Structure formats: C-alpha cells, structure tokens
Chains A and B, each alone.
Chain A
Amino acid sequence: MKTPSDENHDLIRWLDGEMTADERRAFEATLQNDPELAAEAESMRQLSESLKTHLPAEMPVPHADFFNSQIQVRIAQMELDDAREREKAAESTAGWLSWLRMPWLVGAAAAAFAIAGLVWTQNSSSGTSTIASTYTPNPSVHAQVFHSADAQATVLMLDGLEPVPAEKKIVGFRVHRAESDAEVATTTLFDENGSVLAVVALNAKGQPQVLK
C-alpha cells in the first residue's frame, strides 16, 4: 500500500515526465480510480504550466561575479582550514615515534627546522598581495586589478568615480591607535599623545560617520 508521500513522489515524477512507460500507465490507471488524487494532479499540472509560462528557464544572479568569487574565497579558506587540521592530526599521531627523542636526532631536527624556518621566512617576506574579488555597488564604477612588478605592489584602480570637488578641503589625520567599543559600535581614533581625533560610528543604515 502506498503512503501519501509515495503518491506525491509519483505525482511529481509523473508531472516531470520522469516515469517509464509502464509506470506512467499504472499511475494514470490509479488516477482514474482516485478522483481526489486526480484533482490534485490536475491542480499541480496547471500550477506547473503557469510557472513555466511566467518564469524564465534561467534567471541571472545579481552580481554573479562577486557571488562566485565569494564562494571561491570561502572554499579556499575551508581547504586551508582542512589542511591545518590534517597537519595537527599528523603532529599528534607522531607522538609514538619515541626514537625521535634520541639526542643526535633532536639536534639534527632542530637544525633542519631552523633552515626550513629561515627558508619559509624568506618566502613569506616575499609574498605578493592579491585581490580575490571586487564588487562596486555603483555600476558606473569599474575596478581594475593588476600587479606591478616594478612597484612591487598590487594595484586596485577605480575608474569612473565622481571627482572630489576642487574647493573641498581634505583634512588628514595621523592616527596612532584606535579603540573599538563593540556594544555601541564605535571606534575612537587617538593621536600619538592620546588625544581623540575622531570617532567612527555607524548610523541606522549601517553607514559610517566620522564624528569629531
């Protein structure tokens, strides 16, 4: 005996045309003997037709590039986390190798680690900054990313920005440190003498306001 969920499953498969010829014949025979199921099938068929008529087969994802890049970044982070977990697990299982505690091996291992550490430090100090993704809310602004080997810098060029009015006076800060208050979502900026330069606070829309 079929349960209601089995019938619904069959109904969906029938609507989607996923049944074999034998299954379809058997199901349509069931429909003829079950007016309630037949009414439901007709209702779902009409709804399906209506959806197919009014909705496009594919819908563009808004800001698809940014969405995809965000997913790629998350995947990269998860892979990195997994690699760290594997390293930790490998370290913990290495504890039984008591023969490593032999004095001459400890010395050799220390030397090897020191060399490896030196190589790693040199490599890390020469790491190149990268941009994984960019998103500009204003469609007239375009972000261009490239690496300048001459300048040894990564460049994020924002084209299409509205110029700052020439008469506007741009006042700079020399911020030595900042303190954040998570409860009231503010960040207080201090100069090297400990005097308050400004306070960054978020308004109701989540936009920052630099207050003095």
Chain B
Amino acid sequence: MSEQVLKVENVTMQFGGVVAVDNLNLEIDRGEIVALIGPNGAGKTTAFNVVTGVYQPTNGAVWFQGEKIIENHPQGKMKALYKGEHAGEYTHALAPTPDRITRMGMARTFQNIRLWKSQTVFDNVLTAMHCRTTGNLFTATFRLNRKEEAQQRRRVEELLEEVGLTDLRNERADALPYGKQRRLEIARALATDPKLLLLDEPAAGMNPQETDELTAFIGEIRGKFGLTVFLIEHHMDLVMDISDRIYVLDFGRLIAEGTPAEIQNNQRVIDAYLGVAEDA
C-alpha cells in the first residue's frame, strides 16, 4: 500500500444554502508537497478548516494516516437543504476537536498570522510543545518533570536555529517583521511534532525575495523533518516551484489536478483565473 497521509473523501461543506466546498476528493502521499489553489472565495480555507476540525463537514469523510478521523452526514434541517452528492453514503458522525487532530499529527498555520503576541519568540514555540507533555499538573507545578522541560527547551533552541530566529528569541512575537512572524508560526507548528503540515497562504504579504526564501525553506524542512506539506497559496511562482502536485478549486468544486506543468496548460484553470471570452 502506498503511504497515504491524507485522504479527503467526498467532502461537502454547506453553510445554510451556500455550498462552500462541493464534493471534494483529494489524496496526499507521504513526503509530497501538494498545493491547493483557486481564485478568491473558491473554498480553499474552508477545505483546510474541515480537515483541521474547525468545521464539521456536511457530508463526507477525512482519513489521516490510514485512519478515518472525520465523518459526517446531513442531519436535522440540513437533510432537506442538502444540495451535494453522495447523500446517504455516510452514516456516522465523527468530529474530533482541532486540538485532538493536532495531537494526531497535523499542524497548521493561519492565513492571518495568529501568534501569541504578548509572549516571546521562545515562549511561543515552547508553549506549542505543551500538547506533547507527558507530565501531569502536579509533576509540572512541582518541577518533577525537569528532564522533560529541559528537553523541550533544547528542542526549541534547535527549532529556532532551524528557522533562523535564534537571535530574536527574547523579542515579543508582535515585534517581529512580517516575514519572521510567518517563520515563527511555522516553527510553532513544527513544535507540535507533526507528520502533515498545513500552510494557509504562507507567502501572503511577502515580497518576491522573501517568497523565494520561503520556497527554499519549505523544501528544506520537508526533508529535515520528514514532513508532508499541504498548502494554499496565491503566489504562483512559489506553487509551481515546490509543488509535486496541484489541486485547483473553483466555486467549491475541484476543476483540475496534476503536476505544475499540467496545471499551467489546463484550459479550465486558465478560464477560471482569467475568465472566458464572451465573443468567442
């Protein structure tokens, strides 16, 4: 069996009468970098929020490392309202909270950076390791877990070194320049020890040089941490540079998938981005 990390199966996310994600199917294998692209409002972030447990899908299932972690079917009022496909195929409701999904090994960053602003760079990364602590409240309070704490602190140093923020370790997170905040968010996600890293527009607001650095950086951490990366991005240079495969969403529906070269020449993708000429 190929090592499949993530599988999104027939996922539909409907808010009232609006279908934000319509029958989405995608698969990501171990070690891949896969991008999800599409025009504004195509449902990319919604898809991310379904996978990370922020939203419960209306219908469909999500598998992570061969295990079904999320499943739902239209219930209550939604039964009558449901416009999607595959109704009736799913019968269970499985909805873990985002923190449980993170502990399963899936970490994310946010489109609009969400650091713990008043805390230092070091503490931001250290705090993210809390979900991997084995000590309980008592041992933690009375410092009976010194070994673990010391180990975590060493790991933070390593991670900061990795993302190049060692010099800034004692600065407040919100004092960092934008690009560094992005890096810090990735370091924080890495601190939760993920198998799959989800990046929501990691290059948003970056200049071309910063974007290039980020591209190199993502490739680097994939190798070093044995990661699989799933990202949403608008910067096409970045996407075409590092993605192994690309999925394209438009109005909630998957309109294309393939390698960067295939996507660049796909007429439907070009139409979705540029619009179709009326007088043809």
Q: Do A and B come from one complex?
A: no
Binding site for B on A (CB under 8 A): none
Binding site for A on B (CB under 8 A): none
